[in-house]
Amino acid sequence: MPELSAKTLDLLGKVSTATISGLLARRGLRRATVAGARPIVPGTRMVGEAFTLRYIPAREDLDHTNTLDNLTDPQRVAIERVGPGQVLVIDARGDVSSGSLGAILATRLKMRGCAGVVTDGAVRDYVEIGATGMPAFCRAPHPGANKFIYHPTDFGLPIGCGGVAVFPGDAVVGDDDGAIVIPHHLATELGEEGYENELKEEFIMARVRAGASIVGTYPLDEPGLREYQAWRRQRG
């Protein structure tokens, strides 16, 4: 699968998850927002391509100790394979009874140029992960280590995260409203359409703040559209 272009990622980085959600819904895709995932640091924006990691429930005969092999454990191997600009998306089965990632591994991801992390579980070292400066989205903090609850089983395959099907290479966008997944083949057109949508909403909001009625403004009527197009030309 070809990487998304820098232009597409730049445009998606300027589009809100609310706008993306609406555009996906128009295309019949209504299960795109990772349920419960919120940014650790308010005001966070995130965009990148999905790198997937899947956990299954831990089992006592396999996960009875914290001793592991960094060269074979799927979680540790995945950490060393996430590339610059990619978002690590973790299928933690929605289980928040332990941390699915901690600060040391999150810091390693940051140093590798990872664009962010999304988990439908909890994270430990919540504040420390937020302080790395790498965008991180989760459902809750929890002090427990991941091996008590989770067994990392594979990576680089389709997963479910917070009720959303995530395929490697899908675009992942995050902001204060949450994290949303865009199928790879729709990312470019949604970036372009979404950016135009954001400009139109900026124009509409300015009119509303100036005292305009929503009638003829939201949505724009024909005179309003002509006014918007003139404003858009001035913006370049």
Q: What is the DSSP string of 3-65?
A: PPPHHHHHHHTTS-HHHHHHHHHHTT----B-TT-EESSTT--EEEEEEEEEEEE--TTTSSS
For domain 31-182, is the CATH number 3.30.70.100? no
Instruction: List per-block mean pLDDT (blocks of 10 residues) for the chain, which spans 236 residues.
Output: 94 98 97 98 98 94 75 94 98 96 97 98 97 98 86 97 98 98 98 97 97 96 96 89
> What ranges make up the beta strands (E) of the chain?
38-39, 46-57, 86-91, 116-119, 122-123, 136-138, 140-141, 150-155, 159-161, 164-166, 171-175, 178-182
DSSP state for residue 217 in the 8-state scheme: B
CA–CA dist 23, 190 (Å, integer): 7
Q: Where are the domains of the chain?
A: 31-182, 190-235
pTM for the structure as a whole:
0.95
pLDDT at 219: 95
- CB count within 10 Å of CB 37 equals 24
Q: How many other β-carbons are positioned within 10 Å of the β-carbon of residue 165?
A: 14
Determine phi and psi for 10, rounding to 5 degrees.
-65, -45
